[in-house]
Amino acid sequence: PRRGPADPVKALMHRHRDLCERAVDPLEIAAGLEAHGVTDRTAARFRHRDVFSLAEELYARVPRGTEPPRHDLEPAPRPAGRVFRVLRALLPGALCALTVTAARLTVGGARPAVIAAGAAAVGAALAYAVRCGPLRTGRGAGVPWALWLAVYAVAGNGLLDALVAGGPDGGPGAPDGWGADPAAAVGLALAVAPAGWCARQFAVRARRGLTTSRGLREFADRSRPLLLGTVALFLTALTAVLLTGRLAYGHGSFASAAAPGALLFLARLLALHGHAPAANAALRAAACAEAAALALVLSGRLPGCGALARPVTAAVEAAGAGAVPAAVCGLAALVLLARATAVLARASAHSVPPPTPAQHHTR
């Protein structure tokens, strides 16, 4: 093969000029090059030891306009206090606990009204906490599937039990007569706070590792343990809040709430770092599987279709109704964890620094 030009970086600089002109630091160029398939071995052909060194030369050589970046043109946001951010994250759980307590204390026709008003308040607080906190992704895709999984974790087990028993008829097996799992509702709502904190810490520490790593392999070796540690930390916090809910309200399956919580956290983490399609696919598959379990039980009531309901009925009779969401969401969470371990160890997943709490507050 013939020898390359005297300046081998020049062709690469022209090929990725748009990337280099938009970048605010060499790290964004390094992440963009990696996303285009440039590895440390490729960088060696351009007479550089790694992609980070190559990105530094591209950043230095490509001229950029004097106009400041877009986010610098915005007015400086007023900093939000740490107490306000904590209260914002805890608000969904507090409202959910208040709703459950109020529903237990009311009787008759007032109970449905209390539950409806409380559910609306919890939904609004949850939407605000997610849109303005560290879990903000800026896109609404996947919300219906996530909402289904959350609602099923709260009320799906009671409905499935009633369907298997021939109902629903509001029998005595339903907790407090309203067929929901209050411990799961409170636990998942309270888990919003540790989920946001863990997601924020992962983004900040990964970005910090991007600045200190001197190669893609070194960054990947640092990122994978960080991701696994973040997931383990969230699962510990999720276990704590769910057990607290069990002690306070004493009902429901732990696994049927823990598995959807883990799945929702992993899906949100992937969406935050530019991999929303994989996250949405896992959420959609889990939601459809849960809906299919309910549909199979109902289909089994049709003449000659009793065999359709046998697998779900056998699982419920053997391990309880909570086995369905635990198995479905647990499997989807494992798939997303494997996916996250592969893609979130790449520099391209951390090219944009996470928004500051002040930016979250103003938006």
Q: Structural domain boundaries of the chain?
A: 8-73, 84-362
Cα 217 to chain centroid, rounded = 26
Q: What integer pLDDT is reported at residue 178 of this predicted model?
A: 45
Does the pLDDT of residue 39 top 50, yes or no?
yes
At residue 354, what are phi and psi to the nearest 5 degrees? -65, 145
CA neighbours within 13 Å on the CB side: how many for 319? 13
Q: What residues contact 73, with CB distance under 8 A and at least 6 apart?
A: none
Amino acid at residue number 270: L
Residue 2's SS3 state is coil
pLDDT tens-place string over residues 261-316: 999 999 999 988 888 899 999 999 999 999 999 999 988 888 888 888 899 999 88
Using a 10 angstrom Cβ sphere, with 0-12 exposed, 13-18 middle and 19 or more buried, the burial of residue 256 is buried
Residue 71, pLDDT above cutoff 60? no
- Determine the pLDDT at residue 340: 94
Q: Note the pTM of the prediction, 2 decimals.
A: 0.77
- What pLDDT is stored for residue 273 in this prediction? 87
* CA quadruple 225, 207, 350, 124: dihedral, nearest 10: 90
Q: Which residues are within 8 A (CB) of 262 and not within 5 positions of it... i.e. 6 or more apart? A: 231, 234, 235, 238, 329, 330, 333
Cα 153 from Cα 187, distance rounded (Å): 11
pLDDT for the residue 169: 52
Question: Tokens at residue 354, please?
Answer: 């996470």
The mean per-residue pLDDT over the stretch 241-258 comes to 84
Residue percentage of the chain with pLDDT more than 70: 84
DSSP per-residue letters across 141-203: TTHHHHHHHHHIIIIIHHHHHHHHTT--S--TTSGGGTT--HHHHHHHHHTHHHHHHHHHHHH
Token pair, residue 361, equals: 């507050």
Looking at the chain, the whole-number percentage of residues with pLDDT higher than 90 is 28
Q: How far is residue 199's CA from residue 187's CA, in Å, rounded to a whole number?
A: 18
Residue 315: CB atoms within 10 A of its CB come to: 17
What sign does the CA torsion over 101, 251, 121, 169 have?
negative
pLDDT grade, residue 83 (50/70/90)? confident
Task: Read off the tokens for 28.
Answer: 């964004």
CA 197 to chain centre: 12
CA distance 79 to 239: 32
pLDDT at residue 360, as a whole number: 40
C-alpha triplet 299, 301, 306: angle, nearest 5°: 80
Kindly report, residue by residue over 124-167, the tens digit of the pLDDT. Answer: 888 888 777 778 776 655 788 988 999 999 988 888 888 888 77
Q: Is the pLDDT of residue 22 over 90?
A: no
pLDDT tens-place string over residues 188-206: 999 999 999 999 999 889 8
Greater confidence, 218 or 122?
Answer: 122
pLDDT given for residue 181 in this prediction? 87
Q: Picking from 112-121, 154-163, 354-363, which range would have the lowest pLDDT averaged per residue?
A: 354-363
For position 295, what pLDDT does the model report?
Answer: 92
> How is residue 354 annotated by DSSP?
P
Q: Any idea which of 26-40, 199-213, 318-332 has the lowest mean pLDDT?
A: 26-40
How many angstroms separate the CA atoms of 66 and 329, rounded? 50
Mean of pLDDT over the chain: 80
